[in-house]
Amino acid sequence: MYTVAILTISDKGHAGLREDVSGATIATIVVERGYSVAHRSILPDEQALISNALIRLCNERISLILTTGGTGFAERDVTPEATLAVVERLCPGIPEAMRAHSLTIAKKAMLSRAVAGIRGKSLIVNLPGSPKAVRECLDCVLDAIAHGLDILTGRDGECAR
């Protein structure tokens, strides 16, 4: 069983002005898929705070870190930059797949700046901020992510099957 950390990035959520529906949606989906939620928190849209949290969670050997929010065009949307500052290897196929799938549902999906990458033995994936988009994106990529985690952690060594 892989551990998951969920970071909701939202100034309003952090201030208690908005309920964290997206984080709850992620938690429900990953638990249904057999993951264990080891951490869940809400952070403001502050790049240094996000990067520090990501580093701490990677150092704690969390397998999969899912962020939600902060991937758009707003000035304070800095989740991709915070993620890029800490990952060691990019995984561009994950956000590409999410965007491609989401584009079949909503044209505004092309505005997502989400990224994904590896730090140590942890995979970090930026998800959109809306609960509907979170569900659509996870439905698209979660099975492949499980295989990626198997490879990353050494549980499996074959991708060519």
Contact 58, 122 (CB under 8 A): yes
Q: Return the beta strands (E) in 69-136 as ranges.
A: 89-90, 116-119, 122-127
| CA dist., res. 63 & res. 5, Å (int) | 8
Q: What is the mean pLDDT of residues 30-51?
A: 98
Supply 82's token pair.
């915070």
Whether 77 maps to a domain, the answer reads: yes
Q: What is the number of structural domains in the chain?
A: 1
Domain that holds residue 143: 3-152
Instruction: Check whether 158 has a pLDDT greater than 90.
Output: no
Instruction: Check whether 161 has a pLDDT greater than 90.
Output: no
Whether 94 maps to a domain, the answer reads: yes
Supply 138's token pair.
């996870």
According to DSSP, the β-strands at 36-43 and 64-68 are unpaired
Whether 161 maps to a domain, the answer reads: no
Q: What is the CATH number of the domain that holds 52?
A: 3.40.980.10
pTM for this one? 0.96
Whether 158 maps to a domain, the answer reads: no
- Predicted pLDDT at 159: 61
Whether 160 maps to a domain, the answer reads: no
